[in-house]
Every structure is written in structure tokens, then in C-alpha cells.
């Protein structure tokens, strides 16, 4: 467990109130993934001892976090980190990091596989290439605040995939690398959202049972010329994503 900085163990008169020091420390630990989504936080007694404060002070900090939606209280059990739900704005083409930024959590990717393979009929049709022409396949876990949000399988034309191979696929969003590193201007994307049973592999990677319903998003991203450059299948637990859109009448 992370150590508490000495300056946060007590707050002299006239400085930051002690409950704010506790709240900020807990917020940083949650954002860094020290306490995963759904995990139990230290008890009131543990926080009292750690920060040398009263129960009233600890409860002020916890109540503040609860009002902000960061944690939740369960009667008789204690306080738990609220489960993370990412909100996808369907009116914008967003990267994972851009989508998670409003939640104030650290994001990263875990590279599962990077391969070159013949395009299937589905992939070839999406990218408008002739099967079985080779494509680059990139598999990643998308992680926010220590919680795996999704398992992404992306297919790129090899002229793009080979350039991505030299970049840091775990620390930076691919959308941002396409724009900033490869100089490709993104245009628009077509999405299909459905619910499917998790395969054995998807279940293991997402920590759900095989056969359990998961969300599958198929997204084809085009550059500004209309060329399909990134065909993606994204799998996520049903409670990991929400979608938001404004719909006009006509």
C-alpha cells in the first residue's frame, strides 16, 4: 500500500484542512489504480490511524468523495471505489484517452499481440482491399484507473501498420499517433453496436465468464479522403460503457 507523504499526516493551523489532504490522497490513489474500481477502501479506523485525525475528519473526506461519485458506501461493509463507466459521445470521433479524460483517471493500454496476417473477407471488405491481402492486426487491453475497460482488436493496411510498429502502443492512443506521428488526418467513423456472448479468450481478458453477454462495437475509421484505415472490434463488459448522443426530430 502506498505511503502517505509526511506533509499530509497533519495540517498545521492555517494550511490545507486535514480532510482535504485525506480526500486528495485517496483521489490520487484511485486515479493511479492503487484501488481498482469496485475495490474496498481503507476503513475509517485505518484512515484515522494513518492520518492521525478524528473520525469526523475522515468522514468529511469520505462524504466529499461520495458526493462527487468517486466512491460509494455499503451499509455494514465500508466504502468502495465506484465502478468506472466510460461515456462515449456518439457525436464525436474520440480516442480512448479523450473519452476518459473527463473522469480524471490515468489511462494506458496493454499490448496483447501485434501480427501481420491475411485479411478475412470481413476485414477486406471494410478496408476495401482484396482478400487475402496482408493486414496488420493489433490487440490491446484498454485500462483506466486500474480497471480493464475493453479488449480491442484493430486491423490496419500494412503501409500504416508497419509504421505503427515503431511507436509506443501502450502509452499513447492510436488516433493521436495517426494524427501527430504519421500525419494522417482523421475524417469520420462508422459504428455498429451489438451484444454478443464472450468467447473463452475474451472472457479471460475481460475477467468475465465465457458465454456472458458483452458489448461489441465494430468501428471503421476513415481518413479525411474517405479511405478506411482502421477496422476495429471492441469488446467490453456491459457496465463498462455508456453512450450519449443528441438526436434531432428531423
Q: What is the 3-state secondary structure (H, E, C) of 156-221?
A: EEHHHHHHHCCCCCCCCCHHHHHHHCCCCCEEEEEEEEEEEECCHHHHHHHCCCCCCEEEEEEEEE
- Establish if 236 belongs to a structural domain: yes
List 130's β-bridge partners, or say none: none
What is the spatial distance between Cα 180 and Cα 183, in angstroms, rounded to a whole number? 6
CATH number at residue 50: 1.10.10.10
pLDDT tens figures, 81-115: 876 667 777 778 888 888 777 666 678 899 999 99
Q: Where are the beta strands (DSSP E) in the chain?
A: 71-74, 78-81, 86-89, 107-118, 134-144, 147-157, 186-197, 213-223, 228-237, 241-244
What is the spatial distance between Cα 173 and Cα 154, in angstroms, rounded to a whole number? 13
**pLDDT the model gives residue 179:** 95
Q: Which residue has the cell 490545507?
A: 16
Strand order in the sheet with 107-118: 107-118, 134-144, 147-157, 228-237, 213-223, 186-197
Nearest Cα to 233, choosing from 211, 210, 205, 208? 205
Q: Angle, nearest 10°, between helix axes 44-51 and 18-32? A: 110
- Looking at 107-121, 188-202, 235-249, which range is the least confident one? 235-249
> Is residue 182 pLDDT above 60, yes or no?
yes
Query: What grid cell was written down for 150?
Result: 475493453
**pLDDT the model gives residue 69:** 66
What is the spatial distance between Cα 75 and Cα 106, in angstroms, rounded to a whole number? 29
What is the spatial distance between Cα 140 and Cα 189, in angstroms, rounded to a whole number? 20
Question: What would the mean pLDDT of 4-9 be, rounded to a whole number?
Answer: 42
- Judge contact between 79 and 69, C-beta under 8 A: no
**pLDDT the model gives residue 22:** 93
Please check whether residues 138 and 34 belong to one and the same domain.
no
Please check whether residues 46 and 138 belong to one and the same domain.
no
Question: What would the mean pLDDT of 161-169 be, rounded to a whole number?
Answer: 95
- Establish if 215 belongs to a structural domain: yes
**pLDDT the model gives residue 72:** 85
Across all residues in the chain, what is the average pLDDT?
87
CA distances from 234 to 122, 169, 212 (A): 15, 16, 16
> Is residue 2 pLDDT above 60, yes or no?
no
* DSSP state letter for 34: S
Please check whether residues 118 and 50 belong to one and the same domain.
no
Please check whether residues 220 and 126 belong to one and the same domain.
yes
- Establish if 250 belongs to a structural domain: no
Count of beta carbons in the 10 Å neighbourhood of residue 213: 12
- Establish if 1 belongs to a structural domain: no
| Among candidate residues 18, 49, 81, the one where a domain is terminated | 81
Given CA atoms 214, 220, 223, 224 in this order, what sign does their dihedral have? negative
- Establish if 210 belongs to a structural domain: yes
- Looking at 1-5, 124-128, 152-156, 165-169, which range is the least confident one? 1-5
Burial of 34 (0-12, 13-18, 19+ CB in 10 A): middle
> Is residue 196 pLDDT above 90, yes or no?
yes
Domain extent at residue 40: 6-81
- Establish if 180 belongs to a structural domain: yes
Please check whether residues 172 and 193 belong to one and the same domain.
yes
pLDDT tens figures, 45-84: 999 999 999 999 999 999 988 876 678 888 889 999 876 6
Do β-strands 228-237 and 213-223 pair in parallel, antiparallel, or remain unpaired?
Answer: antiparallel
Count of beta carbons in the 10 Å neighbourhood of residue 23: 20
Amino acid at each position: 500500500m502506498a505511503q502517505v507523504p509526511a506533509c499530509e499526516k497533519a495540517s498545521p493551523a492555517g494550511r490545507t484542512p486535514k480532510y482535504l489532504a485525506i480526500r486528495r490522497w485517496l483521489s490520487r490513489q484511485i486515479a493511479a489504480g492503487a484501488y481498482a474500481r469496485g475495490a474496498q477502501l481503507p476503513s475509517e479506523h485505518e484512515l484515522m490511524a494513518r492520518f492521525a485525525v478524528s473520525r469526523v475528519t475522515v468522514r468529511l473526506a469520505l462524504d466529499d468523495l461520495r458526493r462527487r461519485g468517486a466512491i460509494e458506501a455499503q451499509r455494514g461493509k465500508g466504502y468502495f471505489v465506484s465502478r468506472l463507466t466510460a461515456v462515449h459521445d456518439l457525436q464525436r470521433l474520440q480516442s480512448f484517452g479523450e473519452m476518459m479524460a473527463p473522469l480524471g483517471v490515468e489511462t494506458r493500454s496493454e499490448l496483447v499481440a501485434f501480427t501481420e496476417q491475411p485479411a478475412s473477407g470481413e476485414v477486406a471488405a471494410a478496408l476495401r482491399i482484396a482478400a487475402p491481402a496482408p493486414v496488420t492486426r493489433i490487440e490491446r487491453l484498454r485500462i483506466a484507473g486500474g480497471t480493464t475497460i475493453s479488449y480491442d482488436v484493430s486491423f490496419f493496411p500494412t503501409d500504416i501498420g508497419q509504421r505503427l510498429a515503431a511507436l509506443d502502443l501502450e502509452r499513447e492512443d492510436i488516433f493521436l499517433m495517426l494524427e501527430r506521428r504519421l500525419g494522417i488526418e482523421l475524417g469520420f467513423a462508422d459504428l455498429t453496436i451489438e451484444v454478443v456472448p464472450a468467447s473463452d479468450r475474451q472472457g479471460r481478458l475481460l475477467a468475465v465468464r465465457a458465454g456472458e453477454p458483452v458489448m461489441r462495437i465494430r468501428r471503421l475509421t476513415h481518413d479525411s479522403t474517405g479511405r478506411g484505415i482502421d477496422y476495429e472490434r471492441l469488446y467490453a463488459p456491459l457496465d463498462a460503457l455508456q453512450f450519449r448522443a443528441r438526436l434531432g426530430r428531423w
